[in-house]
Amino acid sequence: MVFILDRQIIGGIVAAILTASILVGLCLAQNVPANFVFGDSLVDVGNNNYIVSLSKANYVPNGIDFGIPTGRFTNGRTIVDIIGKYLFSITLHKLLAVAILYKQMLIEYSFLFIKIFSPGQELGFKEFTPPYLAPTTSGSVVLKGVNYASGGGGILNQTGKIFVGRINMDAQLDNFANSRQDIISSIGHPAAQKLLGKAIFSITIGSNDFINNYLTPIISAAEQQLVTPEAFVGTMISRFRLQLRRLYNLGARKILVANVGPIGCIPYQRDVNPAAGDNCVSLANQLAQLFNAKLKSLIEDLSTDLQESKFVYADVYRIVEDILQNYISYGFENANYACCYVSGRFGGLIPCGPPSKVCEDRSKYVFWDPYHPSDATNVIIARRLMDVIIISGSGRAFCSGVDLTAAEDVFKGGVKDMDCRVRPGCPNEPLEGSRLQQGSKLLSLVIFWSPLKVPSS
């Protein structure tokens, strides 16, 4: 079926988008006093620099596009660096893409958007959230947030033993408890409780529990024979439940939890499992999907059980999967091979380090090294996560005192339809509802995806 949208409908839709965008953007910018980060090497910004560990990134060519090696396991910024700097941004080019389709209809709204938000305008923190173990992370610095993430860390305490030193989730929570006490000592208990209640807590962890625990070549062979994937994932979820409850009991209320990405597609997994050929490693991806399904249920349970808690489930798996399947449309030229490599068919056998070769154009590679995404990929993931939070209505979870009901109602059903249309084998059912609802769903497709994908029937 063909959508015929008149000026009034389009105007109403774009006005709703702008309303939701502006209100949530300003809310996040003004009402988020601190950003606390937990996780593994995907979001580590230098904690492992200060411990004895085989999992380090404070040497070249890591950080080649950051200026210097900082301990980040990528060529530039991590996902949380980008989200922290740009807590909210529906980028201008997406709105203009719609304006190309509906020129005169949207021009006044485009100018309104330009006036309020210039492209890339910073609404977040002026500085990157610092690593907990850095000597300079003290005093008033802690009041703006701390990064506790550690390369090699996992949900389970036995995860990452091959690296010797790493900070697993339980230890990261211990460190946060210390920071919390410092905050209380600095500003008093009531003010500290208020700050923590408004702060954003993000958690990106779980990959190492598979890659460097259950799936470790040779070392884990016996465990795989004795422990089923279901039992192992069950142990992870049980532990994670206790950890998330502890974080809540320490004062966290706004908690974003990222799921595990398609780890079977990283260069390392593909090189150590040559039988997969040109495909991703199915077992690793199946484990991630099993964990993610249980994690989503856990987040729903905690959201119901924990009073005043505001959890957001971040579906990183789906975002990265889409990037890998449509990498050319995202501007990449290589979705399989590590940009920083030494050996292996996919450059995934040896970690990135001084002996490594580096691709000429890092922006054309999805993966920086055998395990981690490039800065270019992190930018896409970060923006997509923020888009999902805003347009799906989850933005309300991180805002208080802002009524977004009218704007959010426009998008109800749009996210589901968008997901359906990009999944192979998903039934192409006609969109239901009024012309306004139809238009909103079409526009939600445009807002989410680049290049532009407009349904014609």
The set of catalytic residues is: 41, 369, 372
Reported as type and span, the H/E element at residue 18 is: helix 7-31
Distance CA 320, CA 340 (A): 19
Distance CA 23, CA 395 (A): 10
Distance CA 252, CA 32 (A): 12
Count of alpha carbons within 13 angstroms of residue 414, beta-carbon side: 29
Our CA angle for 144, 184, 198, nearest 5°, is 45
Distance CA 84, CA 200 (A): 10
Q: Give the torsion sign (CA, 454, 22, 87, 191).
A: negative
Please report which residue ranges of 78-220 form alpha helices under DSSP H. 79-85, 92-101, 103-116, 169-187, 189-198, 207-209
Residue 46 DSSP label: S
Q: Which two tokens stand for residue 324?
A: 């890998």
Distance CA 95, CA 106 (A): 9
Q: Which two tokens stand for residue 333?
A: 């030229």
Residue 8 Cα to chain centre, angstroms:
36
Residues 6+ apart with CB under 8 A from 150: 39, 40, 41, 44, 47, 48, 51, 55, 166, 167, 168, 171, 172
Residues 6+ apart with CB under 8 A from 304: none
Our CA angle for 445, 399, 107, nearest 5°, is 40
Distance CA 210, CA 321 (A): 18
Residues 6+ apart with CB under 8 A from 43: 37, 78, 79, 80, 147, 149, 202, 204
Residue 2 DSSP label: -
Q: Give the end-to-end CA distance of the chain in Å, rounded to a whole number.
A: 4
Residues 6+ apart with CB under 8 A from 153: 39, 40, 41, 44, 159, 160, 166, 167, 168, 169, 171, 172, 205, 208
